[in-house]
């Protein structure tokens, strides 16, 4: 892969063979994840840590469910009208002791009223943080649009514990090789622009229940 251009044909063929070999082998639709390993980047510096939103050109291949953490009545009404489930601040202390509700958080896109972020971090940060699932703050009042659009984006944030590696969901096994390749291109070029191609040590693709395949 080179800066600003698409996957090489050989890589696309490897990806296609990998997907065909592993898809349909489970009773559920497997996700496809991209793992990028970096080298030579000082991730102790906050400016070097990943903190990006990437809009995937092909989407993530499945309808996204959204949970909105909020108390503001206006924002809550807009979020619910857009189809999001709402969790209030009063519920936060009890969720961390409820395994079913914690699992539900991992299966939803999470957004939050900014004022609730410290409380979310206090109650759920140890669970959500390592899984790269901390909610994205809602900026302004247009929560409805955010609920509608969040399904096509991935949010990559890390405090450094799991660096120099990042994991990104790029789609599902039901997507075509061209759709997956376009999403991989977008993710890779985002990090190449930030760190430079020379700082990417290796790239792997993996389905939920498969062994990883090295692409680079």
pLDDT tens for 94-150 read 998 888 898 888 888 899 999 999 999 999 998 888 777 889 889 888 888 888 777
Q: Which pTM was predicted?
A: 0.70
Question: How far is 147 from 21, CA to CA, in rounded Å?
Answer: 34
pLDDT band at 71 (very low <50, low <70, confident <90, very high): very high
Total H helices, total E strands in the chain: 7, 10
CA 47 and chain centroid, separation: 20
pLDDT, one tens digit per residue, over 196-209 is 999 999 999 998 88
Backbone angles phi, psi at 58, to 5 degrees: -105, 5
Q: What is the pLDDT of residue 1?
A: 46
Which strand (E) or helix (H) includes residue 202? strand 200-207
Please compute the mean of the pLDDT values over residues 83-93 and round it to a whole number.
93
Which of 152, 177, 201 delimits the end of a domain?
152
| Cβ neighbours for 21, distance < 8 A, ≥ 6 positions apart | none
Taking CA atoms, 154 is separated from 22, 127, 147, 214, in Å, by 24, 19, 13, 21
CA 24 and chain centroid, separation: 23
Top-confidence residue, 152 or 36 = 36
Same domain? For 70 and 148 the reply is yes
Structure tokens at 56: 């995937």
Please compute the mean of the pLDDT values over residues 32-61 and round it to a whole number.
88
Q: Are 49 and 159 in contact (CB under 8 A)?
A: yes
Give me the helix-helix angle, 9-22 and 177-195, nearest 10°: 130
Question: Is residue 52 pLDDT above 70, yes or no?
Answer: yes
Which of 114, 135, 152 delimits the end of a domain?
152
Look up residue 163 and give its DSSP letter: T
Q: What is the pLDDT of residue 139?
A: 84
- Could you tell me the residue range of the domain that residue 207 belongs to? 9-50+158-214
Q: How many domains does the chain have?
A: 2
pLDDT band at 155 (very low <50, low <70, confident <90, very high): confident
37, β-bridge pairs: 165, 202
Same domain? For 142 and 199 the reply is no
Question: Is residue 5 pLDDT above 70, yes or no?
Answer: no
Question: Is residue 2 pLDDT above 50, yes or no?
Answer: no
């Amino acid at each position: 892969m080179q800066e600003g251009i698409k996957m090489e044909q050989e890589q696309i063929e490897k990806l296609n063979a990998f997907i065909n070999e592993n898809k349909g082998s489970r009773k559920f639709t497997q996700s496809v994840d991209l793992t990028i390993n970096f080298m030579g980047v000082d991730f102790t510096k906050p400016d070097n840590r990943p903190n990006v939103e990437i809009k995937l050109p092909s989407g993530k291949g499945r309808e996204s469910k959204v949970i909105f953490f909020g108390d503001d009545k206006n924002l809550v009404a807009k979020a619910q009208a857009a189809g999001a489930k709402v969790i209030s601040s009063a519920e936060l202390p009890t969720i961390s002791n409820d395994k079913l509700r914690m699992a539900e958080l991992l299966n939803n896109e999470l957004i939050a009223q900014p004022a609730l972020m410290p409380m979310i971090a206090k109650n759920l940060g140890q669970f959500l943080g390592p899984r790269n699932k901390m909610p994205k703050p809602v900026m302004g009042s247009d929560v409805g649009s955010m609920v509608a659009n969040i399904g096509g984006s991935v949010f990559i944030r890390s405090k450094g514990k799991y660096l120099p590696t990042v994991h990104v969901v790029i789609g599902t096994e039901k997507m075509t090789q061209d759709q997956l390749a376009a999403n991989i291109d977008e993710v890779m070029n985002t990090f190449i622009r930030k760190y430079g191609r020379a700082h990417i040590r290796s790239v792997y693709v993996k389905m939920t229940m498969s062994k990883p395949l090295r692409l680079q």
